[in-house]
Copies of this chain bind each other. A is one copy, B any other.
Amino acid sequence: MVTLEDVAASAGVSRATVSRVVNGDTKVKAQTRINVEAAIAELGYSPNPAARALASSQSHTLGLVTTSYRGGFFGALMDTVQSEAELQGQQLLVTQGRDTAEKERSAIQRLFNLRCDGLVLHVRAITDETLLQLAELDRKFIVLDREVQGLEDRCVVFDHRLASALATQVFIDAGHTSIVCLHGPSSRSSSLLRRQGFLDAMSNAGLVPAAVLGGEYDMPAGYQLASQLLENIRPTAIYCCNEELAIGAMLAVTERGLRIPQDISLICYDSGERAAFVRPAITSVHFPITEMARFAIRKLLDNHCKNESFLPEIIHRDSVRRIC
């Protein structure tokens, strides 16, 4: 491997000067810079990150802790976070928490031991208290999609309850009265909030839910819940708290020879992964996780970053029928 020293020798300058041009320091004579750059190109020099990290005590490495790697949601998250990190000249280390507090804690610990400059945390199991402790240790991190009391300035949040209510309102405005809600695990607060938003909108409209069923946030759950539901009742609208649930429900609905939206209307919570790509395309409330992730990275690297707020947005597609 060619080193700074090699470049310095080849360009006839000191190592310090090469370091300056590599790091874009302005105090270098134009001609010197040109010479050095030529030497770099000729030798194919690329700085050794370890040496750089050791000397500067900055690893230029960010960490991301997620709940799991499975599901479309993760791909989108990972994609955005990494693109943004690279844009800012940082590398990214990713680790999954696998839904237990202990694993999340150790993942975070490991990433800090690896000397990450900062972490984006998309975690569920770990307690607020642990997060608070971490903050006191002066660790740099941002919490994605979770509100931690006392750490508001480090949280990038979204109003799931409002978003959910808005989505439900679409059904109500279209004249539906027999509406069911399929939601995720009660162990997740964002899941509870979505369910609550649904209930808000219903009671506001003076409506009683046809049913409210919960399970995992995956396709089989959607399929099963919807199947079980349709054995007993025949609602005109189903609201699904994520995309996987919605696709599972679609399968169950169509399997029974019912059509969407002619017989049953559908709306889901989405992160832009698949709702738009199935047929019929599903009308949804957009959960701007990618925008939020991008903002999280910016915030991590720039302390003066002003807080941004993310508003729910309804995306009208083809899965809602208007009832006269």
Contact = CB atoms under 8 A, between A and B. Distances in A.
Contacts of A69: 75-76, 78-79, 82
A220 B279 contact: yes
A6 interface: no
A50 B115 CA distance: 8
Interface stretch (A34-42, A233-241, A250-258, A302-310): A250-258
A311 interface: no
A188 interface: no
Nearest to A93: B91
A29 interface: no
Interface in A180-220: 218-220
A223 interface: yes
Interface stretch (A51-59, A158-166, A170-178): A51-59
A277 B59 contact: no
A49 interface: yes
B274 A219 contact: yes
A116 to B, nearest CB: 10
Contacts of A22: none
Nearest to A50: B53
Given A79-B96, A219-B274, A278-B223, A59 B50 contact: yes
A51 B49 contact: no
A220 B278 contact: yes
B254 A218 contact: no
A148 interface: no
A12 interface: no
A51 B56 CA distance: 11
Interface in A97-126: 113-115
Contacts of A27: none
Nearest to A112: B46
B114 A49 contact: yes
Interface of A: 46, 48-54, 59, 68-72, 74-76, 78-79, 82, 91-96, 113-115, 218-220, 223-224, 227, 247-248, 250-251, 254-255, 257, 259, 273-274, 277-279
25 contacts: A46-B113, A49-B114, A49-B115, A50-B51, A69-B76, A69-B78, A69-B79, A70-B72, A70-B76, A71-B72, A75-B75, A82-B96, A92-B93, A218-B277, A219-B274, A219-B278, A220-B277, A223-B278, A247-B247, A248-B278, A251-B251, A251-B254, A251-B278, A254-B254, A257-B257
